[in-house]
Amino acid sequence: MTTTIAIASGKGGVGKTTIAVNLSLALTKQNKNTLLLDADLGMANSHILLGINPKFSLEDFVLGSKSLDDVINTTSDKLRFVSGGSAINHLLNLSDLERHKIIQNFGNVKNKPETMIIDVGAGAESSSLTFMASADKVIVVITAEPTSFIDAYGLIKTAFLDHKMENFGVIVNMAHSQIQAKLNFDKFRAITQKFLDVNLNFIGGVSSSQRIKTSIIRRKPIMSGNSDKSPDIEAFLNMATNLNTLATNKTGTIKFFEN
């Protein structure tokens, strides 16, 4: 049985894709068969952070030239990966039917993963909310900036009111320390739960480290090939473990891997 986890954010620039890529690699280090789906359609850049250039992408599946199995790539770290394709209008403006076709067809994948991480587009766009609602679990990435709080709150409010999502994990990125990350989470939870009847679970924090910034520039994720015990590595491994504490959303919509 596959557990699907959407990684979302209220706004761009908070490091959502960096979190999704490194969290996926952390799961592979824990010997979990993991698939990363870049569902930030038309604006996909997970492959850039992974330092790879896949021959086929989700674009080829949508256009009907390849099956989903054909567009699954495997990295040197044993992470299975589906690229979201290039910035073309077709992927940016998929119909509900086309999005549902993508979701339903994952049930036909031959080697089903233990966990699938879904990097969805930033904000409360229809495409992002559809993929969030079709995942078992949802994580929202925030930073300590007021605009991040406001936009993340707006995303959670829309997901709750429109799709009955009530359980959310939260990762605080670009924090000065794990203590500060937890304090920022507590502040965000207090604001959110004052107005919405939702459950927020602290998954962990990621420091604003030069090592992570350098890994992005070099197109080699910090979790790729690393076996040391640095704070950055430990943070992602701990978050991968904490995913088990996250409650499932029952949205009543179609789900990935239902077949």
Q: For residue range 120-160, what is the model confidence (pLDDT) as tens digits?
A: 999 988 889 999 999 999 999 999 999 999 999 999 999 99
Burial bucket for residue 92 (CB in 10 Å: 0-12, 13-18, 19+): middle
* Mean pLDDT comparison of 84-88, 136-140, 223-227, highest-scoring range: 136-140
pTM score above 0.85: yes
Residue 254 is assigned to a structural domain of this protein: no
The domain in which residue 69 lies consists of 6-245
Helix axes 146-163, 178-195, angle to 10 degrees: 50
- Residue 189 pLDDT grade (very low, low, confident, very high; cuts 50, 70, 90): very high
Q: Among candidates 82, 88, 81, 92, which has minimal Cα distance to 41?
A: 92
Residue 251 is assigned to a structural domain of this protein: no
Residue 253 is assigned to a structural domain of this protein: no
Q: How many CB atoms lie within 10 A of CB 70?
A: 12
- Residue 59 pLDDT grade (very low, low, confident, very high; cuts 50, 70, 90): confident
- Residue 91 pLDDT grade (very low, low, confident, very high; cuts 50, 70, 90): low
Residue 259 is assigned to a structural domain of this protein: no
Widest distance between CA atoms in the chain: 49
The mean predicted confidence, pLDDT, of the chain is 92
- Residue 42 pLDDT grade (very low, low, confident, very high; cuts 50, 70, 90): low
How many domains, in total, are found in the chain?
1
Separation between Cα atoms, residue 35 and residue 62, nearest integer Å: 18
Please tell me the predicted confidence (pLDDT) of residue 22.
97
Residue 156 is assigned to a structural domain of this protein: yes
Residue 178 is assigned to a structural domain of this protein: yes
Residue 46 is assigned to a structural domain of this protein: yes
The enclosing domain of 90 has a CATH number of: 3.40.50.300
Is a pLDDT exceeding 60 seen at residue 245? yes
Residue 145 is assigned to a structural domain of this protein: yes
Instruction: Give pairs for 105-108: CB < 8 Å, separation 24+.
Output: 105/61, 105/68, 106/68, 106/256, 106/257, 107/256, 107/257, 107/258, 107/259, 108/67, 108/68, 108/259
- Mean per-residue pLDDT for 53-78? 91
Separation between Cα atoms, residue 199 and residue 144, nearest integer Å: 20
